[in-house]
A and B are shown apart, each in its own frame.
Chain A
Amino acid sequence: MQERCYHCGADCDETIKLDDKFFCCDGCKLVFQLLDENGMCQYYDLTNMPGMSAKGKYASEKFNYLDSEAIQDQLIQFKSGDQAHVVFYLPQIHCVSCVWLLENLSKINPGIIHSQTQFEKKEIKIIYRPSAISLKELVQLLAFVGYEPMIHLGGNDWMKKKKVNRKQLLKIGIAGFCFSNIMMLSFPDYLSANIEELGALRPFFIYLNLLLSLPVLLYSAKDFFISAYTGLRQKWLNIDAPIALAILVTFGRSLYEILTQTGAGYLDSMSGIVFFMLIGRWFQDKSYDSFSFDRDYTSFFPLGVTAVEDGKEINKPLSKIEKGEILLIRSDEMIPADSIVLTEGALVDYSFVTGENAPIEVPKGANIFAGGIQKGRAIQLEVVKSVGQSYITELWNSPILKTDKNTEKSFVHPWSQYFTIVLFGIAISSGIYWWAVDPHKILPAVTSVLIVACPCSLLLTVTFTYGNVLRHLGKSKMYCKNASVLEAIEKIDTIVFDKTGTLTNHENTHLEYIGAELSQEECIAIKSVTRESLHPLSQLITQYFNSVTAISAVDKIQNFVGKGTQAQIGSTKILIGSTSFLKMMEVELNSEIVGSSVCVAINGIFKGVFKVNHVYRQGVSQMAQQLKLKGYKLYLLSGDHATEKINLHKLLGSDVTMLFEQIPDDKLKYIQELQNQGHKVMMVGDGLNDAGALQKSDVGIAVTDQTHLFTPASDAILEGSMIQQLHHLIDYAKKGKLVIVLIFILSLIYNVVGMYFATRAQLSPMVAAILMPVSSISIVSLSALLTFMFSVALKPKS
């Protein structure tokens, strides 16, 4: 049986062992030892194999920039005496053990006074003593145990969001308190057969009600007034306008009745409306705290870099880097600005920029572009363009992106306009009618119409339904930014896919060997050579020979950077590398070689090639068929070469337009062209190379495998495994409108009943008080029921 790492759960051979536990690498073992020494093995009791693989991840120099005072000031939230507070975003938090370990960090290092996690936000707040542990050591400790904080140029702006949320809760709490008390105090008025019996108590109840309604009007309902006012100033009747009017009219009429001692008013209805509508909004806006939908390049780039000045390494904030400076980029660090390579050994993974996942070797003196990640050893660069003017960052400043895409009005808004017009029509005609029949009843009738027909039921329907739809989509791992995304999805008629990372799986590349059959000895020899190299393609080949367990000693090995490896085992000479490398070593090649591939020659004779094939995600083909059946036009834009075209046509169908070798700017322009033709475009992509297109499209969906580690700005985030469900998800998002229409019909019935009383000037406060909660509650429960029923189709049929 294959052993699994006690720490991270990865498959491992039995070489690294401690007591009866196996580890996949020394990194994992070290983490275990650290926890064991500090008596923290509860980490392993709470969840099985909870750790993050420590293989090749940890590089302590990476955080040197944290020694810089300027950077520390940006990160530390609060500092007083010998105490500092800092908050980090740790995307790796995933289980109970994580919470336990992170909250017990003080056991490992006494310099940490207190640490507290927020699981859903994936945040940790640490209070520590800078005299005992520096910020750098703190981050190193976190990274060592497997929780490397995401520290980026974009900074920590999540604190603002939290406060807004709290205010909304306060408003709901106050409205709820006032509503329930006003309701209670109104009962005697509704229920006593003879109001006169209440005597002196009645004014007491009524004035107490009036007092209680003031916070609702002045504080809780504030947002409706502000929104209505800003709408009116832009000469636009938004849905909040009739609501604000209804609240004002209800309060005004109640005030009038109370002061003239003609009645008790409708204060309970007024505070009830506000309470329910606030809950609706809160429900809809309760979005995903740990996701970030508005990332621009600043959230991808590191906060600080190592610059080299006069032969000395200096840590500098990235924002201070200018043209002509020399930077030191270590393995796994991102290249922050367009530069020229000064040293050998640049091996750059441009998968964020181009979508191509095989690393590219960059020779000394060549240009290197921002956004790439160095995979080889440490290199030096000379910056030729500042961070903001680099090729990839310029995408964000492109004028095409300047137009704000979500300015389009919600479909509820035109409805609310008709609604308002009809409402005023009824109010005026009932006013005219009573002017002819009984002028005393004009005011009661008109105000009752406005009170009863408040479009709050429409607003409630919309907020609750969209809130439910968003939650059900979230359960299926599609996380939308907000409710207006759902409305945008409805209008889509064209879907554009990216290839690498979207239709294919980033982590899962499949190696295929084409050529002469290899003997057992040859397999052993090749594996023995490739396991010596850190080049990703070598590692893939090593993995390919997973079943080969024997290893022979390599006698002589010589690496040619950017080309290949020459090695000798016993009397066997092995050459592994690119086609040009083999040609250079005078090996005759005898097959057509395309795409990313590695050639192998043994004793000067060409054996064959290892071809890197992309593995397409499961169910992509069915998904494409289903989407086409539903009438969507599909496109594919890829940054790759056209080598996969035939496979893709087989997979998606021959009627899908495919464009290859698209640079990010091409994708962006193509989307714009489609939009100019009047199409509504959904872009499904990943990585920075799609960032422009995602932002330009009407709906941009970012696909990700590494649970939201790197997602460009988008309208929705979709987990990679769910892309096969895309047609179901789109379908479901569209169902929201149907649910709203259905429920709106129901609420119209309530409105007609209310109108019947109102236009006859017979609306008693009691009828209003019954009608309002009954309609609200039935709307809310019907919305929950319908959205749940439709969501059944979303469940994966396994």
Chain B
Amino acid sequence: MSVIVLLIAVSVLVAAGFLVAFLWSVKSGQMDDDYTPSVRMLFDDELKEVKQNTTKK
């Protein structure tokens, strides 16, 4: 039976780890803006050079 105590302790600890991650993300402002990051990740740094090549052709 004592294995259950151990397992529960571990499971609560794992969950607490996620809770801490959530609290940290809120406090560091990651939840302040839920739109712009979804756009920002699509900006392609390489596009600029590719474009110049195609216009030269």
Contacts and interface: CB of A to CB of B under 8 A. Distances in A.
Interface of A: 39-42, 45, 96, 99-100, 103, 117-121, 162, 165-166, 169-170, 173-174, 177, 180-181, 184-185, 199-201, 204-205, 208
A205 B1 CA distance: 13
Contacts, number: 71
A121 B34 CA distance: 10
Contacts of A40: 48
A99 B39 CA distance: 8
Interface string B14-41: 0110110011001101011111100110
A205 to B, nearest CB: 8
Contact of B35 (A39, A119, A170): A119
Given A99-B36, A119-B36, A201-B4, A174 B51 contact: no
Contacts of A170: 23, 26-27
Contacts of A119: 33, 35-36, 39
Contact of A120 (B27, B33, B42, B51): B33
Nearest to A95: B39
B33 A174 contact: no
A42 B15 contact: no
A99 B18 CA distance: 31
Given A42-B51, A100-B43, A166 B12 contact: no
Nearest to A41: B51
A100 B44 CA distance: 10
Given A162-B32, A169-B26, A208-B12, A42 B47 contact: yes
Contacts of A41: 48, 51
Contacts of B16: 177
B47 A185 contact: no
6 contacts: A99-B40, A120-B34, A166-B29, A170-B27, A173-B19, A185-B8
B32 A118 contact: yes
Given A181-B12, A185-B8, A208-B12, A118 B19 contact: no
Could you tell me the dominant secondary structure of chain A's interface residues? Answer: helix
A540 to B, nearest CB: 39
A42 B22 contact: no
A218 to B, nearest CB: 16
Contact of B26 (A42, A173, A184, A200): A173
Given A169-B31, A181-B12, A185-B8, A45 B47 contact: yes
Contacts of A42: 43-44, 47-48, 51
A174 B31 contact: no
Contacts of A205: 8
A598 B54 CA distance: 54
A188 to B, nearest CB: 9
A679 B57 CA distance: 72
Contact of A118 (B15, B23, B33, B48): B33
A208 B5 CA distance: 11
Contacts of B29: 166
B16 to A, nearest CB: 7
User: Quick one: which of B11, B22, B42, B44 has the most chain A CB within 10 A?
Assistant: B22
Contacts of B1: 199-201
A340 to B, nearest CB: 47
A92 to B, nearest CB: 15
A119 B42 CA distance: 15
B32 A103 contact: no
Contact of B5 (A96, A100, A174, A201): A201
Given A166-B26, A170-B26, A120 B35 contact: yes
Given A42-B48, A170-B26, 7 more contacts: A121-B33, A166-B31, A173-B26, A177-B15, A201-B1, A201-B4, A204-B5
Nearest to B12: A181
A414 B8 CA distance: 46
Contacts of A45: 47, 51
Contacts of B22: 173, 177
B25 to A, nearest CB: 9
A166 B35 CA distance: 16
A166 B32 contact: yes
A46 to B, nearest CB: 8
Contacts of A169: 26, 31
A97 to B, nearest CB: 10
A672 B23 CA distance: 49
A162 B16 CA distance: 25
A185 B15 CA distance: 13
